[in-house]
């Protein structure tokens, strides 16, 4: 199965560990995620103003690129595009809805783009990799490929906001999502439910108010510890940064705080598939997870 894949800038820079682990795991599951031959920034944040069309150009241009992949025969009749980064997913999917629900907006954007692009037809579908795992591949098939079950690992899933809010674009029930839980169970891990799993990580506040974000991370990570989990799993590079890298600030504010590893779900999948170090890239995680893993798994 070949399906267009939109990486986003972060996966090419600070979140290479998310990308390599996902692409290789997908291969094991018989799916080739084909990177868009040409793409631009997703738009970084969905613009809420309904008349602010210029900020829709970036996401819509990417959807046109997916169209082009079909026209050029790079993929066959595949009008979906898989996204890994939660922020990109959120932005692309919302922009897609935004133009689909109002033909006039779409026309205006298409007119603006018409010097260099074919018009966007409005029939591309933006899906998250977790949706592909759940709906197309199935967690049973995931379980079949597990070579090294994560059975001693107690994991707290953390969704953050971007996969679940607003409700119209949610990949799962926004109040009590289950998709990460189901995946982790398929990988053989013990899932630990925490109170704050859909709470905001602080998002872009991390740029200018890192103390605030450190406090949020402190709260979330303490909840994880209280629940008895060994580690956290997330799907989002921004959540990863705020929960993982910001532990440095948490330690400064709370000297008693002990660091706790945070993983991308794809890293754990690659680990359970036993794909090898080069596909885990734990070196890019701020809190070194190796002590925990050697204690629990190896």
Binding site for other proteins (CB under 8 A): 7-9, 12-13, 38-41, 43-44, 54-55, 57-58, 61, 112-113, 115-116
Closest CB to other proteins among 61 and 105? Answer: 61
Query: Least distance (Å) from other proteins to the CB of residue 10?
Result: 8
Closest CB to other proteins among 40 and 79? Answer: 40
Q: Report whether 244 contacts 284 (CB < 8 A).
A: no
Query: Least distance (Å) from other proteins to the CB of residue 54?
Result: 6
Query: Least distance (Å) from other proteins to the CB of residue 279?
Result: 20
- The C-alpha atoms of residue 43 and residue 85 are separated, in whole angstroms, by 13
Closest CB to other proteins among 28 and 88? Answer: 88
Query: Least distance (Å) from other proteins to the CB of residue 15?
Result: 11
From residue 286, give the alpha-carbon distance in Å to each of 28, 237, 241, 259: 27, 12, 8, 10
Closest CB to other proteins among 84 and 180? Answer: 84
Listed in order, strand segments (DSSP E) in 17-158 are 32-35, 80-83, 125-128, 154-157
Under DSSP, is residue 39 helix (H, G, I), strand (E, B) or coil? coil
Query: Least distance (Å) from other proteins to the CB of residue 192?
Result: 35
Closest CB to other proteins among 237 and 289? Answer: 237
Query: Least distance (Å) from other proteins to the CB of residue 74?
Result: 17
Under DSSP, is residue 195 helix (H, G, I), strand (E, B) or coil? coil
Query: Least distance (Å) from other proteins to the CB of residue 281?
Result: 15
Query: Which tokens go with 172?
Result: 């799962």
From residue 139, give the alpha-carbon distance in Å to each of 157, 175, 180: 16, 21, 10
Q: Report whether 22 contacts 84 (CB < 8 A).
A: yes
Bridge partners, 81 (sequence order): 126
Q: Report whether 21 contacts 269 (CB < 8 A).
A: yes
Closest CB to other proteins among 40 and 190? Answer: 40
Q: What is the largest CA-CA distance in the chain?
A: 59
The strand pair at 154-157 and 80-83 is best described as unpaired
Query: Which tokens go with 55?
Result: 């900020």
Closest CB to other proteins among 50 and 116? Answer: 116
């Amino acid at each position: 199965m070949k399906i267009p894949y939109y990486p986003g800038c972060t996966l090419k820079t600070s979140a290479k560990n998310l990308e390599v682990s996902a692409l290789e795991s997908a291969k094991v599951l018989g799916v080739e995620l084909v990177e868009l031959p040409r793409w631009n920034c997703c738009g970084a944040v969905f613009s809420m103003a309904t008349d602010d069309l210029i900020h829709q150009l970036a996401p819509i241009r990417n959807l046109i690129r997916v169209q082009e992949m079909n026209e050029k025969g790079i993929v066959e009749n595949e009008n979906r595009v898989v996204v890994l980064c939660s922020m990109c997913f959120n932005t692309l999917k919302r922009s897609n809805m935004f133009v689909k629900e109002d033909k006039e907006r779409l026309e205006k954007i298409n007119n603006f783009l018409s010097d260099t692009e074919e018009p966007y037809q409005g029939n591309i579908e933006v899906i998250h990799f977790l949706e592909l795992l759940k709906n197309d591949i199935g967690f049973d098939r995931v379980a079949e490929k597990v070579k090294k079950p994560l059975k001693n690992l107690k994991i707290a899933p953390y969704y953050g906001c971007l996969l679940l809010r607003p409700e119209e674009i949610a990949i799962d029930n926004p109040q009590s999502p289950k998709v990460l839980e189901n995946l982790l169970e398929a990988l053989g891990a013990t899932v630990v439910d925490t109170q704050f799993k859909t709470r905001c990580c602080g998002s872009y506040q991390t740029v200018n108010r890192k103390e605030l974000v450190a406090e949020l991370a402190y709260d979330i990570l303490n909840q994880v510890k209280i629940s008895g989990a060994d580690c956290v799993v997330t799907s989002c590079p921004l959540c990863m940064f705020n929960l993982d890298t910001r532990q440095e600030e948490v330690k400064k504010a709370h000297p008693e705080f002990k660091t706790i590893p945070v993983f991308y779900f794809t890293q754990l999948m690659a680990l359970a598939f036993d794909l090898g170090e080069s596909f885990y890239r734990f070196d890019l995680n701020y809190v070194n997870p190796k002590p925990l893993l050697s204690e629990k798994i190896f």
